[in-house]
Amino acid sequence: RRLHVTGVTSHPTREWTTQQAGNLATDLGTRTEPPRFLLRDRDGKYGEAFDTVFQADDLRIIKSAPQAPRMNAHCERVTGTIRREALDHILITGESHARHVLNTYEDHYNRHRPHQARDQLPPEAQ
């Protein structure tokens, strides 16, 4: 599992999330093994246009059950990891600062941070 940070905003909208979906779909196109599905919650920010971006790449869209955070455990876990390892130790001063912190953490997570499920290797290690 790799971490992808596509954007930062304090006021996400349907249009913004659709644009971020397009950015992510472009980035995922460079992977050797394409993803098979997208698990997302039922937030109103994710509309049909958001789903269409991924369905164009033959991804199956799976919506989590209402009010069921355990159904999306991988996302909840990585969100908690980001909070504990990065955001709890830094006072974020704005969107550009948040973008910088998250991009730095993304690099650390994918290239250097040990992952127990991978025998203490980062996701990008051979």
For the stretch 96-124, pLDDT in tens is 999 999 999 999 988 888 888 778 888 88
What pLDDT is stored for residue 87 in this prediction? 93
pLDDT in tens, 3-29: 888 889 989 999 999 999 998 888 876
Q: What is the pTM of this model?
A: 0.77
Residue 77 has pLDDT above 90, yes or no: no
CB 115 within 8 A of CB 109: no
| Residue whose structure tokens are 């049909």 | 48
Which of 67, 68, 50 shows the shortest CA–CA distance to 59? 50
Please give the Cα distance from 96 to 54 (Å, whole number): 27
- The confidence score (pLDDT) of residue 31 equals 65
Q: Which two tokens stand for residue 42?
A: 């039922």
